[in-house]
Structure 1
């Protein structure tokens, strides 16, 4: 007799998704293989998601809703599932980021998460989370959905020039990532500036930080240490970091000149793909 793993639907969003998927599938009189055939995946994958061994993607949730006629139930739930895959200490920030009307960020090492490609994100996450790359990349891509909303937040990014030169994932991955940044060149709600090396000492020397602004709620300042995030609405911190950010904006290249620099680095440093060593992470 086959042992069926029982889930506690109250344990986590992922457990609830798996529990409901099994319940709705059985209610429809379908085997795992039959449902897999309808939503273009294997029956094994259906079983893995039903037992929380795999994390569902948004595309999977949408197909299941269509197949089982569940009126968007799984599509609504998958956002919670994917957010739960983010590091625990980061989840509160991601929630506030999704509610902000204005996001300002200074990045001294990495492309900001909302602007990362899948391959770039995977190369970063593989360093610290080699066993969870797939689900954490899916969570990061889900986080980016706020930029596609009808009322998306204004996103202003100042990044150090070193971000363009740090080869994450290989030359092909970097070329794709810089090309992706250039797609925002004419986006009225996304502004990107590069802080060049020759500015010398500047207001971001202490490291990356974000300031979130809301309609009707206090601003928030966010920064990270190695294993946790720090978020505060302290008025003095907000005052100091807001002024610091304005100074970074004034010191950095204009958005137009920044786009030109990104395009130049993309071609000069990452243009010869025939010399690429390949990329293991997709």
Structure 2
């Protein structure tokens, strides 16, 4: 039986090479993100500028053009070999081309593992739901009439269904939520989550969401729902609970075996300027 040492060494070498490729891709990704910020362009804009044949995908030549011409990254900062490694890391399906989803996902978040995309999508949807809950709570929607009026305001063409453009316009223009509150990709993911039939959000789904924003809202000032009678009574009891000093005074006053001593009053610095000092030195000097 031949020893398997060469195969083990080959596996170790392959893992080391993969680790180096991931490190190179991570370093190049950071440089490209810095160049994109300086160019003041989004990855979607860069993809459209580089997709010369309008095929909806970017090959190696177009990717290189994006980096050199539109991002103005010189060869001494990122050489062709490092850029090729990045391109191969972005090409998940090994098709020789990168679609917009692969490009944006890798350059924004790096390599993802199985289940990580779904977990990130769920977190983004939950964050968008929370922000929209608070925004819809400000503009109303607690009753069926208010929710229907909101739906009519969002449904610009009166088709009875809300498109992605209509929802995005309402969120940006009416609710005043910018990209820091709700990102474009997060808003699209939320729209896909709320859209059940694939042809827009119908009035029933929209009204359920808006009315649930009244039931589930939480936050400062008007975002809080008024407490019920039991919660209000418990809060009142908590506010009127006696302090330890008050309980001690009452217990000493009820004691039969011990004389009720007079507890020391507050310090002179905390009673205000209108009160006379009560120290022993002051009392002895006034008695003379």
TM-score interval for Structure 1 and Structure 2 normalised by the shorter chain: under 0.3
**Structure with higher RCO (Cα < 8 A, 6+ apart):** 1
TM-score, normalisation: structure 2? 0.27
Larger radius of gyration, structure 1 or 2? 2
TM-score, normalisation: structure 1? 0.28
Q: Which has the higher helix share?
A: 2
